[in-house]
Chain A
Amino acid sequence: MSEWAVRVNHVSKKFRLYHERNQTLKSAILRGKASRHEDFWALRDVTFEVKKGQTHGLIGSNGSGKSTLLKCLAKIYWPTSGDIEYRGRMASLLEVGSGFHLELSGRENIYLNGSILGMSKKEIDRKFDEIVDFSGVERFLDQPVKNYSSGMYVRLGFSIAINVDPDILVVDEVLSVGDEEFQRKSFKKFTELKAEGTTIVLVTHTMPVVKEICDTATWINQGALIAVGNAADVVDQYQASIT
């Protein structure tokens, strides 16, 4: 059980804060250079690892850099220096329903969205019933998704994403999707995934959730790693620091 699934090695991420963002040709030609900017380090030398099958929480105040870290983990941002290693297939769940085509039906969107998230057609065929079942939109499957209520929309998006069956799942605060009944269902699904040995990394502001479902946690503040270890301990340290 001590085998690692995700390893974050000395990851730093630099953003450029533009004073004058020259996104027009005119300004580029007039000034003769593309832009004036200042560097901002959103992450500085963050190192930790998540063991296989564990659920790991990323906590910290707003603007601490945890979302940047999550986007690096999801391969949306690339670290300026350092690297992230994975053992197994990674899938991310940062926003539900991204990539839905409003004019297409729910059925067509399941295939479209599934393949955007990295599933093959065979996998989607196999999981199709489960996805539909979980989302509870069965009756509206052949309607264009633009006619869906916002609840149906996110439930369908969430059901696709949760059925990707990755080895490593990277999640932003999406546990708060849908009504209470659906939330309970998603929560149960998470526990199932966990029981099946999926490694989960998640960002949340709800400390009781971290204590309840996370095994380990990382606390980040102003881009630097403050503490990493047992979830309950890290949460206690974090809460002590803000009160």
Chain B
Amino acid sequence: MSYLAEIWRSRELLQNLTNREVRGKYRRTALGQLWSLANPIAAIVIYTFIFSFIFRLPAQVGDPSGLNNYALWLVCGLLPWLFFNRVLTLGTDALVANAGLIQKVYFPRIVLPLSLTNATFFTWILEMGVLALALSLLGAFVLPWVPLVAVFMAVFALFSVGLAMIFSIVNVYFRDLAYLLTIVLQFWFYLTPILYPVDLVVTQSERLGGLAGTSVTLMDIYTLNPVQGFIEIFRNLLYDNRMPEGLTVLVALGWTIAALVGGLWMYASKEKQLAELL
């Protein structure tokens, strides 16, 4: 509890460090903050071309929104993933990259991963704003769902930062993690239903039945991935315009609490040793 109070006391520092990230990032570029939209747009163009045009993936019809557009369907899952990817990649390196600062000044170290996440979250809000606009223009009735989307964005950000907090400390002990992570994130991306609908996995799972003579199905293993539930929630709200399933929400909240408690506990117990470990 006293640790949470300390974080609260350093909120101004957190804000300043967030500003540092946001303002420092696109300094001396002509397009500035617009660059943050470049990556997602490039990804959308490539994936839509390959999966919708070349592979002819069946179109996903939004229920009840009636949308029928692979690119939009893709973005609803891709933007949360890109946010998650950035938070984890940057967050894991947060302590090691700021070693000089940690060894010279005392401040609650936890503001480092938090400020990175805040800055990344800021970019994500811009991206989601553009997406909401595009969805509305193309016929979805998104506006009433915006508050819920915002709530789940915050929940997903807490989940991501919790995980990033754990990884940043582990990375101090084992510097391999940062490199390992880029590979893990690649697998993770393709094991999450972002490019393809989860129905295809369900079909495959039913065809295979119980794996290796047990009652465990492919789908059971597949749903262990916490990000999968979040993607489903964002698609339900944005693309389908309906409430996500209660169980999916509960599982997502469970993962979030676990990641946050884990991350906070790591910082509360390891923070004081960081200066000498780095």
Residues of A within 8 A of B (CB): 15, 23-26, 28, 34, 71, 74-78, 92, 94-95, 98-99, 101, 103-104, 108, 111-112, 115-118, 120-121, 144
Contact = CB atoms under 8 A, between A and B. Distances in A.
Contacts of A94: 104-105
A108 B173 contact: no
Nearest to B111: A116
B105 A15 contact: no
B209 interface: no
Contact of A116 (B105, B273, B276): B105
A75 B106 contact: yes
Prevailing SS type, chain A contact patch: loop
Interface in B10-39: 12-13, 16-17, 19-20, 23-24, 27-28
Contacts of A74: 105-106
Nearest to A172: B104
B275 A76 contact: yes
Contacts of A111: 16
Contacts of B19: 108, 112
Given A94-B104, A99-B105, A104-B24, A115 B176 contact: no
29 contacts: A23-B173, A23-B175, A24-B175, A25-B176, A25-B177, A25-B180, A34-B173, A71-B275, A75-B106, A76-B103, A76-B104, A76-B105, A76-B106, A76-B275, A77-B275, A92-B105, A94-B104, A94-B105, A99-B105, A104-B20, A112-B17, A115-B12, A116-B13, A116-B16, A116-B17, A116-B101, A116-B107, A118-B107, A144-B27
B139 to A, nearest CB: 42
B273 A78 contact: yes
A189 to B, nearest CB: 20
B271 to A, nearest CB: 9
Interface string B173-209: 1111100100000000000000000000000000000
Nearest to A15: B276
B100 interface: yes
Nearest to B100: A98
A98 B104 contact: yes
A75 B177 CA distance: 28
The range of chain B's interface size is 20 to 34
A144 B107 CA distance: 25
Nearest to B28: A103
Contacts of A121: 12
Given A116-B101, A118-B107, A101 B176 contact: no
Contacts of A24: 174-176
A99 B176 contact: no
A101 B24 contact: yes
Given A24-B174, A34-B173, 11 more contacts: A15-B276, A23-B174, A23-B176, A71-B275, A75-B106, A76-B105, A76-B106, A77-B275, A92-B105, A104-B27, A116-B16
A23 to B, nearest CB: 5
A15 B12 CA distance: 33
> In the complex, which of the residues A92, A116, A118 has the most CB atoms of chain B within 10 Å of its own CB atom?
A116
B176 A98 contact: no
Contacts of B102: 76
A108 B105 CA distance: 19
A76 B174 CA distance: 22
Interface string B37-55: 0000000000000000000
Nearest to B98: A99
B272 A78 contact: yes
A23 B173 CA distance: 6
Contact of A117 (B105, B275, B276): B105
A77 B12 contact: no
Nearest to B174: A25
A15 B51 CA distance: 56
B57 to A, nearest CB: 37
Contact of B174 (A28, A92, A108, A144): A28
Contacts of A108: 19-20, 23
The 6 closest A-B pairs by CB, nearest first: A75-B106, A78-B272, A98-B104, A103-B27, A115-B16, A95-B104
A103 B24 contact: yes
Contacts of A117: 105
Contacts of B12: 115, 120-121
A28 B13 CA distance: 36
Contacts of A15: 276
Nearest to B171: A23
B275 A112 contact: no
B176 A26 contact: yes
Contacts of B24: 101, 103-104
A28 B173 CA distance: 10
Contacts of A112: 16-17, 19-20
B22 to A, nearest CB: 11
